[in-house]
Structure 1
Amino acid sequence: MQSVVAPQGGYAGSRRSPIGLGGTIAVHAVAVGIFLLMPREMIERFVPPSIITYAVPADPPPPDPVQPPPDNSKHPIQQPDRSVIPATIPKVALPVDPVDITGTVDPLPPIQPKIETPADPPRAPVFAQASPDPRFARDFQPAYPPSMQRMDMEGSVTVRVRIGADGRVLSVEKLSAASDAFWDATREQALRKWRFRPGTRDGTPVESERVMTVHFRMT
C-alpha cells in the first residue's frame, strides 16, 4: 500500500468513488421525474403568493411650541393710517340681478277698517220750564196806564223775563211794546209782583228764562 503525505499547511482530499457519483445523479433524476409527474394543482398550491407593498405615511411633524403673547407695554402697537387707501386693493364689480318689471304683482289684501262701537251717549238732563204760579195769577196783569186809557188806546207788550231758582223775576227784557207806557207798566209789575214755579233740571230748581206777553184791553 502506498501512503500519501500532504505538504504542511495544505489539504488532501479523498478521491471520489464513481458509484457514489452515479447514485447522486440517479437521486436527482428521480426527484426531477417526480416533480414533472406531479398534478398541476399540487404544484400551484405550493407557489408562494406575491408580496403586495404599499406606501407607509410619514409621521406628522411635531407641533410648534406655544409662544407666549408679546408684551405690548414696552412696544405699543402702531395703528395703521386709515386715511391712506392702498392702491393694490382691486375693485370687484358685484353682479346685479335684472329686475323683472313685466310680471304682475299680487294686490295687497284690503285693509278692514276698525269699527268701534260708539259708547252710549250721556243721558240728556230732564229740564222743566218755569211756569206762572197760580197762587199769584191775579198779580200778572199790570194796571192800565191812565194816559193810554184817556186816549182810549189798546196794545200789548212782549218781554223775556229771567227767573231765579226761587221763582222771583231777576230781570225783564223788552222784545216788543205798543207804547212806552205799556212797557213801563209791564216791567214794574213783573219785578214787583210776578211769581213763578222755577224751572228744574233733573228735579233741581235752576235759573231759567221765559217769554211773556201782556195785553191791555179796554173793558
Structure 2
Amino acid sequence: MSYASETKRTSPASMALAIGVNGSIILAVALSPVIVEQIKRDPFEGRSIPVEPLPPKQDEQKQDSDTRPLDPVYVPEPVNTNIPNDPVDIRTGNEETGDIVIADGTGSGETLIKDPPPEPPAIFSAATRDPRFARDFQPDYPSNLLQREIEGSATVRVLIGSDGRVHEAQLVRATHPDFGKATVKQALKAWRFRPATRGDVAVEDWQTLSVRFTID
C-alpha cells in the first residue's frame, strides 16, 4: 500500500484544538485597537490671511522721494535798491548845540529847528520905604539911656510882605540891648514900605536896616 493512497483519519481532539487556536488568533486581531494615523489639520486652512508687502528697497525709496512733488518755494519781493546819489542826512539832534535837525522833505538839504529863546527873567525891584510913614521910622529913645545920655545904634533884618508891612524882624546887632528892643518893636508896629515886585507882581523881600540913636 502506497503512502499517497493511504488515508489517514484525523482525531476529533486535534481538529478542535486547531479550530480553537485559529479562532483565538482571529478574535485577537478583531479586538485589537485600530491605529488611525491622525493627520494634523492646518489651522489656517480655508481662511485668507492678508499679507503685508515687503518694504521697498533703499533704491526704490530714493526713487520715490525724487519723484515726489516739492513744496512751493517762498520768494520775497525784490528790495528797492534805487538809492539816490545824494541821500538826505537825517539826524535827531546836535550834541554841541542841542538843535533838532530834520529833513525838509524836498531833497534840498536840512532844516534846523531851534528851541524858542527863553523868556527873559522878570525884573525884580526891591521894597522901598513909604514916604507917607517916614516920621514913624525912628523908634522911641529908651528913657534910661536918654537920662544917662548914652547914644548908639541898632541893626535889624526885616521881612517886608507883599502888603508893605513888616511880618518879621530879627535883631542883627545893637550897641545896647535896649536900642535893639526899641528898634524891633517899632519895625513891627509902624514901619511901612512899598512892596517889592517881580515883573508886575508884588513879592516879599528881606532887607537889613539900621537906626541911630542920638541926642540933639
TM-score (norm: length of structure 2): 0.48
Which of the pair is proportionally richer in strand? 2
Higher relative contact order (CA 8 A, sep 6+): 1
TM-score (norm: length of structure 1): 0.47
